[in-house]
């Protein structure tokens, strides 16, 4: 495949003006000989407005207040799923089409939005206190549906369909990075009730943040200190050290390598990184995107075999998978694209809770060694 895989992109709008984008790879839609019913028949409605952000002087970070999200859909029945194609259930869904391959749309209950009350960037003070500045939560939040199959998961996709998802990640990263006010783009998936998902249909999300997130700011600070001290790139040096050791490498290919980090915090944690230095998903070339679809599916299927079940089968692993990308306009020479997958499931039926030490002090304790985690993931390959 080329840098732009054989994917047909079709734009439309939902009943409240939110954008929806279809990414099709299968006939008769990919060649344009047929179209889908893209008209949203629901009555016109005004979309949710952006919430607000408040600055926390004790952490140096912004906290987003999005109270309207309390009313979002929570574990609806399959016949009322808002992510299935309209017509499969008893109510109109968010997808006004008979079927789809991959689709992205603006979140109905966004944490960040370009629709703001007041003036974007206008600072106000909570209780007129200068300690607590507040800003409109300007940005963008999108939902990415990996498949129209309600009972599937990402790990069940074909390589070709996973490649379409990769192309959607690339396209949405590029587009959200161009949205005024967005400083960082984060593509991620929450899977499993243990993670706190509110919809079981296989999907991920994409956030366009109006600032560089705390985790990324910390990595960039450490990377700058590392460069001043050694002249090297911290994230590249970590990858190369893991490859030299080999003890925690799970799988490697021509363009990608997956490993359990030497200081893993979670009961199951894997990082997937390109062998070439790239800042973000759009910087990947066609061959790298092709192999990513294959190696990511391999990794997810290993994760689903990580914990054996009492009946001799395996337990579907709840996880969070998130792409760490360079910010839009700062630190791009220090950042390096990589995926982090973590799970709170330390054993079947047993969760890793962020209790006193982790939540109160930010001091992590892991019940498993990284070497044990990596060995198990190699074993179930």
> C-alpha angle with apex 160: 303 to 3, nearest 5 degrees?
110
Look-up: residue for tokens 């179209």?
A: 35
Nearest-angstrom CA–CA distance, 59 and 217: 12
- Indicate if 203 belongs to the active site: yes
Closest alpha carbon to 164 in 154, 178, 150, 177: 154
Q: Which of 201, 203, 271, 324 is catalytic?
A: 203
Which burial class, exposed, middle or buried, applies to 201 when counting CB atoms under 10 A from its CB (0-12, 13-18, 19+)? buried
CB 5 within 8 A of CB 25: yes
Nearest-angstrom CA–CA distance, 209 and 9: 24
Phi, psi of 371 (to 5 degrees): -65, -40
CB 349 within 8 A of CB 363: no
> C-alpha angle with apex 296: 289 to 99, nearest 5 degrees?
80
Say what angle helices 214-230 and 234-245 make with each other, to 10 degrees. 80
CB 343 within 8 A of CB 319: yes
Enumerate the active-site residues.
Answer: 203
């Amino acid at each position: 495949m080329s840098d732009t895989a054989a994917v047909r992109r079709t734009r439309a709008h939902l009943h409240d003006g939110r954008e929806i984008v279809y990414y099709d790879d299968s006939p008769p839609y990919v060649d344009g000989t047929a179209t889908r019913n893209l008209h949203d028949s629901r009555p016109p409605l005004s979309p949710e407005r952006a919430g607000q952000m408040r600055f926390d002087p004790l952490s140096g970070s912004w906290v987003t207040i999005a109270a309207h999200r309390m009313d979002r859909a929570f574990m609806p029945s399959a016949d009322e799923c808002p992510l299935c194609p309209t017509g499969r259930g008893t109510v109109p869904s968010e997808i006004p089409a008979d079927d789809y391959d991959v689709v992205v749309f603006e979140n109905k209950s966004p944490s960040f939005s370009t629709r703001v009350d007041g003036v974007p960037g206008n600072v106000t003070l909570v209780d007129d206190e200068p300690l607590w500045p507040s800003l409109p939560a300007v940005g963008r939040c999108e939902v990415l549906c990996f498949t129209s199959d309600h009972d599937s998961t990402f790990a069940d996709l074909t390589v070709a369909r996973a490649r379409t998802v990769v192309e959607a990640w690339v396209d949405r990263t590029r587009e959200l990075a161009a949205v005024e006010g967005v400083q960082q783009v984060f593509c991620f998936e929450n899977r499993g009730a243990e993670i706190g998902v509110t919809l079981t249909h296989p999907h991920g999300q994409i956030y366009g943040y109006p600032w560089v997130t705390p985790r990324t700011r910390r990595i960039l600070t450490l990377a700058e200190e590392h460069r001043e001290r050694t002249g090297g790139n911290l994230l590249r040096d970590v990858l190369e050290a893991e490859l030299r050791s080999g003890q925690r490498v799970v799988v490697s290919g021509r363009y990608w390598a997956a490993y359990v980090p030497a200081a893993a915090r979670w009961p199951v944690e894997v990082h997937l990184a390109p062998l070439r230095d790239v800042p973000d998903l759009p910087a990947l070339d066609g061959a790298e995107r092709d192999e990513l679809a294959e190696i990511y599916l391999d990794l997810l299927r290993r994760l689903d075999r990580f914990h054996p079940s009492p009946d001799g089968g395996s337990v579907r692993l709840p996880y969070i998978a998130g792409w760490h990308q360079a910010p839009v306009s700062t630190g791009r020479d220090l950042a390096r694209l990589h995926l982090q997958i973590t799970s709170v499931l330390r054993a079947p039926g047993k969760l890793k809770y962020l209790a006193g030490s982790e939540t109160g002090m930010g001091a992590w304790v892991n019940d498993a060694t990284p070497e044990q985690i990596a060995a198990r993931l190699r074993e179930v390959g």
